[in-house]
Amino acid sequence: MSDIPAEHDRSARLQAQVQAALADQRPLEIVGSDSRSLLGLAPDSDAISVGDHRGVIDYQSDELVIRARAGTRLVDLEHLLASHGQRFAAEIPAPSAESTLGGAIACGWDAPSRSLGVSIRDTVLGCRLINGRGEIVNFGGQVMKNVAGYDLSRLQVGALGTLGVILDVALRLAPLPERQVSRSFAVPADALEDWWLRCRELRPLLSASCYQQGYLHLHLSGRAAALDELLPTLGGEALDFDWAALRDLRSDFFCADQLACLYLPAQTPVEITQGEALLEWEGARVWVRDGNHDALQREAQAAGGFLRVLRGDPVAPAVAAPQWHQRLKDAFDPEGIFNSAIFGSHFEGGGGR
């Protein structure tokens, strides 16, 4: 734990900043390490920086729970957990070495392993935040099951900091798998549907899939005895596929001016005619670079899904129940001081399905 400063509690200072902004009716944009600005989340008004509010508050490996301050770097947390033979129960993308826990929760951006495992929101046990009244409030806890009151901690996942300043988060953990291996297969696009079905048979040893440029890459993890028996019958090549770069959006593929991803129901293939595609989640998440975002959004919606733009031409948000979004925003942040531009671009609008 030595590389994570234990005493960097800035909650009092952050609370004072929020209260001052409230008194002046001055909007605030919340920033962690600013590593997610590549997701189009760069601040453009007064910033409140959570980056130095960091450190582990509580970690007892027997409980499979860690509670840490929002500014704690994800890489530091991963090292700490690995030294105890553990990891986050849901893999968490870290776009840079500086990426913070709070930023990951606010973005709610899931890793390639989400489809065969759980999502980040599934692993959130509790969350403390400063609300738009300048109060520090704590919801959920550090125990595995907790239904006291509304689930306002999971609500913060993916809320992009529009409901409050996240101070600390408790997350569920999992044991590190005994073994992890990668196998790659040359697969023509028209054979993918059969492969997705085959992927189902590889559960629970299959942990992620990725299809790019005619190659299907499979990530497998589990007990050594099980993988040793499976691998000879599975075939494929042991290529040096960089799963971490895929997870953290650092692969070359993601360096594009136009970047978006389609979320689709399972087994609902969509033909990508413009730009280049990369498939995750057995085809249920399709990244497209250099595509036409309006056309992609139409494709996604026709298939029962939706589009998220990371870079390039924005599309109108298609949230369900837009009136509930505005009312919830007002319930947490009545003066509208937190990340109001992001609220407008991501949560407002009448594109409800």
β partners of residue 100: 73
Instruction: Out of 15, 96, 138, 345, name the contact with another protein by CB under 8 A.
Output: 138
Structure tokens at 180: 């992890």
In the region spanning residues 284 to 313, those forming contacts with another protein, defined by CB under 8 A, are: 284-285, 304-306, 308
Contacts of 240 (CB under 8 A, 6+ apart): none
In the region spanning residues 6 to 35, those forming contacts with another protein, defined by CB under 8 A, are: none
Number of residues that bind another protein (CB under 8 A): 81
Q: Which stretch binds another protein (CB under 8 A): 25-33, 35-43, 202-210, 231-239?
A: 202-210
Instruction: Out of 151, 212, 292, 311, name the contact with another protein by CB under 8 A.
Output: 151
Task: In angstroms, give the least distance from the CB of 241 to another protein.
Answer: 22
Q: Which stretch binds another protein (CB under 8 A): 43-51, 245-253, 260-268, 270-278?
A: 260-268
β partners of residue 221: 180
In the region spanning residues 47 to 76, those forming contacts with another protein, defined by CB under 8 A, are: 60-65
Task: In angstroms, give the least distance from the CB of 333 to another protein.
Answer: 10
User: Which CB, 304 or 314, lies closer to another protein?
Assistant: 304
Measure the CA–CA gap between 10 and 14, rounded to whole angstroms: 6
Residue among 43, 46, 25 at smallest CA distance from 336: 25
Measure the CA–CA gap between 76 and 173, rounded to whole angstroms: 15
Residue among 114, 125, 77, 118 at smallest CA distance from 99: 77
Q: Which stretch binds another protein (CB under 8 A): 29-37, 68-76, 211-219, 225-233?
A: 225-233
Is the preceding omega at residue 5 within 30 degrees of 0, hence cis? no
In the region spanning residues 155 to 174, those forming contacts with another protein, defined by CB under 8 A, are: 155, 157-159, 163, 174
User: How many helices (DSSP H) and strands (DSSP E) are in the chain?
Assistant: 10, 15
User: Which CB, 46 or 228, lies closer to another protein?
Assistant: 228
Task: In angstroms, give the least distance from the CB of 317 to another protein.
Answer: 6
First to last CA, the chain: 46
Residue among 247, 245, 284, 244 at smallest CA distance from 267: 284
In angstroms, what is the C-alpha Rg of the chain?
A: 21
Instruction: Out of 8, 87, 133, 250, name the contact with another protein by CB under 8 A.
Output: 133
Contacts of 146 (CB under 8 A, 6+ apart): 125, 126, 140
119 binds another protein, rule: CB under 8 A: yes
User: Which CB, 109 or 243, lies closer to another protein?
Assistant: 109
User: Which CB, 8 or 87, lies closer to another protein?
Assistant: 87
Task: In angstroms, give the least distance from the CB of 146 to another protein.
Answer: 4
* Helix H or strand E encompassing 100: none
114 binds another protein, rule: CB under 8 A: yes
